[in-house]
Amino acid sequence: MKSPYENKIVACWNTITQQLLDKHPLMEDEIVEIVLEAWNSIMCTKIGGKLQIGVDVFPSPQIMGNYLHMLIPAILAERYPDIWRGEIDKSDKDVVYIPDSTYSIEIKTSSQNSIYGNRSYGQENSDNNSGKQKYGFYLAVNFEKFTSTNTHPRIKRIKFGWLDHSDWKAQAAATGQNSTLDKDAWNHKLKLLYKA
């Protein structure tokens, strides 16, 4: 698929991003509402009906991110049955828009100040990596992690927009497992919807 940003200078990217968001079936304020609802429901969760998250247990950022990956599509599917669903097979995005997969969403979460993909995000699709398309709509959620002085972490930032495969840069080392996001893409292709 041709990138909506192809042959466009960075100074034009914010406008293109807004045009893409205006066409997306989810409104910006609803995206924020759903992410915050998911986060708040995690913080109210008891494991085994006994251990309260944020009181008795303090999950790692990876676990908190996994919970968001499960809850965001679940909330959307509950609100809009037969329109939104979660990932079923490896070629699906994290959140699938059933009427038109162009609007499906990949979720990236991090307790740091950007988002990261695995090494395959910095490589062309092949039989050796994920069958997911590396371009399309992305929901980026940054949150605080549990620490000894922060037992009530918050969502720090929610960004939404379109990323292209070329926006991901794989680590140069053969043993590197991460892909980082290009700074211009982070700043201009993902619109800031919420900041704590």
State the DSSP H helix or E strand holding residue 46, giving kind and residue range, or none if neither: strand 46-47
The model's pLDDT over 37-83, given as tens digits with 9 standing for 90+, comes to 999 999 999 999 999 999 999 999 999 999 999 999 999 999 999 99
pLDDT digits (tens, 9 = 90+) for 100-122: 999 999 999 999 988 887 645 54
Give the pLDDT score at 126: 42
pTM recorded for the entire structure: 0.90
The strand pairing partners of 143, in sequence order, are: 155
Look at residue 124 and tell me whether its pLDDT is greater than 70.
no
User: What percent of the chain lies above the pLDDT cut of 70?
Assistant: 89
Q: What confidence tens digit (pLDDT) does each residue in 142-183 have?
A: 999 998 889 899 999 999 999 999 999 876 655 545 789 999
- How far CA 43 is from CA of 14, 26, 64, 196, in Å, comes to 34, 25, 10, 17
- Residues with Cβ within 8 Å of 123's Cβ and at least 6 positions away in sequence, in order, are 129, 170
d(CA 196, CA 186): 18
